[in-house]
Structure 1
Amino acid sequence: MSGSVTVRVPAKVNVQLAVGAARPDGFHDLANVFLAVGLYDEVTVTPADELRITCSGPDADQVPLDRTNLAARAAIALAGRHGIEPDVHIHIAKDIPVAGGMAGGSADGAGALLACDALWGTGASREELLAICAELGSDVPFSLVGGAALGTGRGELLTPLEVGGTFHWVFAVADGGLSTPVVFREFDRLTEGTDVPLPEASPVLLDALRTGDTAALADALANDLQPAALSLRPSLADTLSAGTAAGALAALVSGSGPTTAFLAKDADSARAVAEALLASGTCRAARVAASPAAGATVVG
Structure 2
Amino acid sequence: MCDHGADSEYESLPETTSMGVHLMAGALAGIAEHSVMYPFDSIKTRMQVIQTNPQAIYTGVMQAASHIGHTEGLRTLWRGVNSVILGAGPSHALYFATYEYVKDFLGGNRDNGSHPLASALGGASATVLADALMNPFDVIKQRMQVQGSTYKTISECAIQVFRSEGLGAFYVSYPITLLMSIPFQSIQFATYETCRKFLNPQDLYSPFTHVVSGGLAGTIAAAATTPLDVVRTMLQTRGQSTDPRIQRVSGMTEACRLIYERKGIGGFWKGIKPRIISHAPSTALSWVTYEYFKWLIGTRPAE
TM over 0.5: no
Larger strand fraction of residues: 1
Between structures 1 and 2, the one with greater helix share: 2
**TM-score w.r.t. length of structure 2:** 0.26
> Which structure has the larger Rg?
2
Relative to the length of structure 1, the TM-score reads 0.26
